[in-house]
Structure formats: C-alpha cells, structure tokens
Chain A
Amino acid sequence: MTSLIDESRPDDTKEFARAEDQDRPRTIAAGLPPSDHVFRAIVRAIGVSVLVLTGSIGLFLGYQAIPTFKRYGFSFLTESQWQPQLDKVGISAVLLGTVIVALIALLIGFPLAFVTALYISEYAPARWKSVAISMIDLMAAVPSIIYGLFGFAFLEPHAQDLARWLHQNLGFIPIFKVDTDPNAASWSPAAYFGSAFIGGICVSLMIIPLACSVMRGVFSLAPIGEREAAYALGSTRWGMVRAVVLPFGRGGIIGGTMLGLGRALGETVAVMLVISQTFEIKFTILSSGTNTTSALIASRFSEATSAQLAALLTAGFVLFLLTLGVNTVAAVFVSRSRSGAGVEI
C-alpha cells in the first residue's frame, strides 16, 4: 500500500504514513440481515440432519460389525456356509461370488461401453448423436428389475447355449469347467443354469450406460486445439483419436469403469432373478450356481435372529466398504481428468 502511494504522490508521504496508522479498512462484513440468519440456519439444519441421517447409517452398519465379529470371530470372513440353524455363518463364498459376477460384468461391459462412448463422442453424425446420447441415458434410467426380467426370460436360455459352446471349445481352461459332458447328444441346460456367467451378462447391461456416459463426457472435453493440430498434421480420424482423445480421456476411462464396477458390486434384483443361489467357493463361472452378498441379504433376512441380522448387516457393511473404496478411486480419476490436470502435452 505504502509503495503505491509513494510512487503516485511523493509529497504527501509523511502525512499519509501518519494517517495510515489510524486508517483501518471498513469492516465489510456488516452482519447479515435477519432473513439471512434464518436462511442460513434453515439450510444448515437441513444439511446437518442429512449428515446425521446418512452418517448414522454408516455408523450403525459399522457398529453392527462388533457383536458379529465377537460372536463368529475371524471365521466370519473365511466360512463359506450360511446355515443359521447350525449357527455357522460366513461370507467368503458370497464375497467371492460378488466379485466374480462383477468382474464378468466388467469384462463384457467395458469394451462395449468404451466403444459406444468413443463412437458417440467422435464418430456419430451430429443429428444422430443426440439420439444416441438419449438412448444411453434411457438405458441408465431403465430399472434394474426390467433388466432382471429380460435376463430371466431372454438371456438365460440363450446364454446357456453360449455357455455350452464355451465349455465345448474352451473347456480345457479351468474356469470354464462344468461337471457334464458338453458333447452329449441330449445335453442338460440345467448344468449351466443360473451361473455367474449369466449373472455377469445381466449386470453388464446395467453398467454399460453408466461407464459409457462418464467416458463420453470426458472424451468430449478433449481440447479442440489439439484435435485440430492432429488434423492439421494430416492425421486420420482414428489417428487423432489415438493421439489426442484417448490420452486425454484416460482418467475418464478408468474412472467410468470403476464406477461401473461399484454399481455391479451392489446390484441385487437382476442378479437374484437369474442366478441359482449356492454357498460354495467356486471359480468355475459356467457351472450352475453362484451367490452375491446382496442376494444373500435379500434371501436370508426374514428368517434371521437378531445375531444373524447383525451378521447380515456386517456382510452388507463389508460390501459397502468395497463399493465405497471403488467409487472413491473412480471419483479421483474422473475429477482429475475433468479438471484437465490429466492432460500431458
């Protein structure tokens, strides 16, 4: 402040310096009008009540884990059976099933979501583009029970053929093993019924639109200058996409995929409709029977005693921690690429 005054009005320096001692900036925060106090109090109260509500769910779930681990000990994580009559409950089989179904969904869903996002963002004609975006958004808005219905009535019978084909031709790979003769003249579809593979296909329908819209959003943010630079250097469209859009959208690709994974881990109804529930640790994805944590909760809560209810809540809590971790990582990737910090030139 002083230096500025010195330059502009050198004569008054002394007087100004003295005046400055008393010169305090006027307090601008003149106090809020009463209406603002009320406004702030109300929205703060709403914010705090939502914090209490949502926070208490997390705390409640975490709190339920204490008696469960006291009662069942570490075996809660390693036991595969869920037999309340014998007081033998554990989540190793359902957790494994949850992860396997989600990974299958991701393996099927990721390439399709990626390809669709890239097509809509870079290749679709302008008129057709908004239609395609609407259809993907619509795909996200369709309730999961509709996909469950579709999976139950349409995918299940058709996927059994596909599963048998995989078994016939790739059966030597351990995960594609099924305890039946794939080449038998009258093959039994029951051996392939309700497998993790079919559950994964069904869930992939739900994660495709989610992953696709995140990826498309990030792709469309790729800087126009660099796109034009690539074209100016004589690049083909695919050359431009590879040199500009994909490096720029890397964070969005990873983030969108992980958001899809988070969704796949928590999916309940569609999975419940297509799988047949079993409680065993298995890696053979084509053979009948699998299980997921949310399907376990939905099918077992009604017969549970209070201790077992706590155990179910704990199983849910473990699932929640899993999805929370995945979503947090996804959010980091997505926000980084949206802010432009992921661009390396």
Chain B
Amino acid sequence: MTATTAAPQAPDVPRVLSARSADDIGSIWGSALAAVSFTWIAYYHLLSFSGIVGFVVVTWFVFLAFVAGVTLVGNPVPVLFDRLATAILTSGAMLILLLVGYVLIFIYRRGWPAYTKANFYTQDMSGVRPTAPLTQGGILHAIVGSGIQIGIATAISVPLGVGTAIYLTEVGGKLAQTVRTVVEAMTALPDILAGLFVYTFLIIGLHWDRTGLTVSIALAVTMIPVIARSAEVMLRVVPGGLREAGLALGASRWQVVRRVVVPTARSNLVTSIILGVARIAGETAPLLIVSGATIFFNADPLHDKMNSLPLLIFAGIRSGEPAYEQRAYGAAAVLLTLVLVLFITARFIARDKLAKRARVERPAKSPVLPTLEAGNAPS
C-alpha cells in the first residue's frame, strides 16, 4: 500500500496515502457546512419548498458542487475527481449503513410495547381475542414452534449438507460433479417453490397433516443446498498439503477427514451452519404454504398444527387489528434478536479463528491486506 516518491535531496520517505491534508479536510467539511446553510436558505426560505427528503437530496448535490468549486481553486483536475469520488462513495456507504441501523431501530421501537411485557413470552393466544390488550396473551406458542421447527430442520439438513460437502471435496469423481451441479442449481430455487413442492408432494399427494414436521421438511429442503455449498467452500480451502501429510503418515481417508480436514475447517463450518440456521429462522415463504396458523401451544411436531414466529408476524401485519399488529412487531423484534444472537455467535467463532491464525502465520507486523473471507460467499 506504500509507494515511494523520488525526492532528490531528502531521504526516501514513502508517500502516505491514507492521511488527508489540511486542504482535504478543510474543503470537505467547509463545503458540507456551506451546502447545508445555502440549501437551508434557498430551499425553505427563498423557494419555500418543503419535505426533508428533497432537502437532503438538494443539499447533497450542492455539497458536491461546492467541493468541486473549492477544489478547482488550487488543485489539478485529478484531485477534483479524487475528492468527488471520495465524497460520493463515502456518502453512499453511510446511507446504507445508516439504513441498516434504522431498520433495526425501527423494528425494536415499534415492538417495544409488546415485547417489554412478561406475559408476551409466557402465554399463548388461546382464549385471547386478537383485539385484546397486550397485557393478555403472548407468543410463547410461536417461539416454541419456531424453535422446534428450526431444530428439526437443522438436524435433517446439517448431516446431509456437510456429508454432501465431504463427498464433493474428499471423494470426488464423476458422480460428485453431477451432485455439485445439481446442488448449485438448487440454490437458485425460490423459497416459495420448496414450500409448494412439499405441499403438493406430502400434503396433497401423501395426505400428511400440516404438522411441525412438514414445516421442518420444507425448511430443510431450502437449507440443504445452502449448507452443502457453503460447507464445500469451507472444506475446499483446507490446504491439500495437510491432507497429503496425513495420508503420507499412513492415515486412512476417513482418519484424514476426521482428524485433519474437519478440525481445520471446523470454525468456518460452524460459522456457515449458524448463518444457514439464521437464514431459515426468518424464512417465511414456505411457511405460508405448508404451515397452518394456530393460537394454541403445541410442542408435538408430529401432530396438529404449529405456529411459528414468521407466520405470526405475517398474519398479524395483515390482520389490520392494531393490537395484533403490535404483537407482530413484538414478534419481529424477538425474531430479529434470535437472528442477531446467531449472527454474533457466528462472527465470534470466525473472529476467534482468524485471530489465532494471524498469531501463527503472521509473526512479524506486515501490511494489512484486504482478504476475501470465503464465509461471505453468496448463498
């Protein structure tokens, strides 16, 4: 990241690329201040427009114009482009990051009246009218239902997905190529179609009931290709030399997989599995088709309908009943918390691993290079 400038008399000092000169900082902040003031006067007072969105957009363009003007006073054209690019990229990224934060805050703020009541977590909705105040009833049935469905779906799809990934990377062959192609193709399957398939095949075709198990199967169908593909990526990045070293010591293939490959990739595998679980936790489309909504507590996945968080949210928001909508926002906050916990756990495991690896492989301080994390491969 460093480059040298050929200075004739001074010692060879690397050009500092990250630091900004006083000119940079001054022109950016000065332009920002000027743009806000100028737009405020022109927009609200001279032209008497209204609307905050318009104000922000106009301010942004005025800001860019000011930056351009100020820069051109004492700088060559390349610096102009550099500053404009910096301003545009930074503001675009800030917009997105603020948006993420705002979505989270919005959900938590809307759900506040519901999820701060203790009965929200300890009661179900049986015998409680949808219009009843929030002090009655709760979403225990949906929380438990979601937990059971996610658990069964994970128990089905993790062994199958990871097993497939091991087959693809460690055994290989022509058949494995076919499996890989089909599994990759199936990651393109829209979620709703997995639900419709399970509905047509199990509920219409085989006359199964709409139980928790059918929901779990629908979730597993969407989860297996995702897990298989991400786990394959994680296993593929295990260096081949480690496998060969194991084989050279006389280990069998199975021993190499069990004692070398899987331990090396373990934290990455766990991370990708947790992210897969987080993904199906909020999966709603298949549930609309295969799951039936209930108001009763039901912990038996084999009999009777079972509600779940996404389904409750969907039904609540469409009901038009203010109290029921409140519960939906509360349930959304609970679901979001679940996903956040899973996400942070996954991050934690991944970072732990990265830190350990950095200690082993980078004893000397070296320039920090951007690295591609395989875990962020598109799912």
Contact = CB atoms under 8 A, between A and B. Distances in A.
Interface of A: 32-33, 35-36, 38-40, 42-44, 46-51, 53-55, 57-58, 60-61, 64, 111-112, 115-116, 118-126, 132-139, 141-150, 152-154, 158, 161-162, 165, 205, 208, 210, 212-214, 216-221, 224, 227-228, 231-232, 235-239, 241, 256, 259, 262, 265-269, 273, 294, 297-298, 301, 306, 309, 312-313, 316-317, 319-320, 323-324, 326-328, 331, 334, 338
B196 A36 contact: no
Contacts of B34: none
B197 A143 contact: no
Contacts of A268: 190-192, 284-285, 288
A259 B184 CA distance: 13
B190 A323 contact: yes
Interface string B266-281: 0000000001001101
Nearest to A131: B97
B192 A316 contact: yes
Given A115-B92, A150-B107, A152-B317, A238 B339 contact: no
Contact of B188 (A147, A236, A262): A262
Contacts of A46: 159-160, 163-164, 167
B164 A47 contact: yes
Given A36-B254, A145-B310, A239-B78, A297 B372 contact: no
5 contacts: A47-B163, A138-B340, A143-B283, A238-B85, A297-B289
Contact of B103 (A122, A147, A161, A324): A147
A237 B15 CA distance: 12
B282 A142 contact: yes
A33 B253 CA distance: 9
Most chain B C-beta atoms within 10 Å of own C-beta, residue among A43, A152, A165, A323:
A43
Interface string B160-194: 11011011101100011011001111111111111
Interface residues of B, number: 109
A83 B254 CA distance: 57
A38 B15 CA distance: 61
Contact of B310 (A35, A135, A143): A143
A50 B376 contact: no
Nearest to B184: A331
Contacts of A236: 78-79, 81-82
A256 B370 CA distance: 18
B360 interface: no
Contacts of A136: 96, 100
Most chain B C-beta atoms within 10 Å of own C-beta, residue among A33, A154, A298:
A298
Contact of A205 (B51, B97, B103, B199): B103
B192 A224 contact: no
Contacts of A205: 99, 103
Given A43-B166, A141-B343, A228-B2, A48 B221 contact: no
Lowest 4 CB-CB distances: which A-B pairs, in order? A143-B282, A266-B190, A115-B92, A46-B163
A266 to B, nearest CB: 3
A48 B175 contact: yes
A228 B3 contact: yes
Contacts of A273: 314, 317-318
B46 to A, nearest CB: 19
Nearest to A98: B190
A36 B182 contact: no
A57 B163 contact: no
B267 to A, nearest CB: 16
Nearest to B288: A298
The secondary structure that dominates the A interface is helix
B1 interface: yes
Contacts of A119: 89-90, 92-93
A46 B168 CA distance: 11
A145 B314 contact: yes
A232 B4 contact: yes
B228 A50 contact: yes
A54 B237 CA distance: 25
A162 B255 CA distance: 62
A116 B93 contact: yes
Interface string B207-245: 000000000000001001100100000000000000000
A138 B337 CA distance: 12
B332 interface: yes
A46 B166 CA distance: 10
Nearest to B274: A141
Contacts of A235: 78
B122 interface: no
Nearest to A34: B252
A139 B99 CA distance: 9
A306 B79 CA distance: 66
A135 B100 contact: yes
Contacts of A152: 317
Interface in B301-321: 310, 313-314, 317-318
Contacts of A112: 92, 95-96
Contact of B332 (A51, A133, A146, A239): A146
A51 to B, nearest CB: 5
Given A141-B275, A145-B284, A268-B284, A150 B167 contact: no
Given A125-B18, A141-B275, A297-B192, A58 B314 contact: no
A161 to B, nearest CB: 7
Contacts of A139: 96, 100
A124 B194 contact: no
A227 B17 CA distance: 12
A150 B17 contact: no
B94 to A, nearest CB: 8
A143 B284 contact: yes
B78 A132 contact: no
Interface in B140-172: 159-161, 163-164, 166-168, 170-171
B334 to A, nearest CB: 11
Nearest to B279: A141
B8 interface: no
A128 B348 CA distance: 17
Contact of A141 (B188, B285, B339): B339
B13 to A, nearest CB: 14
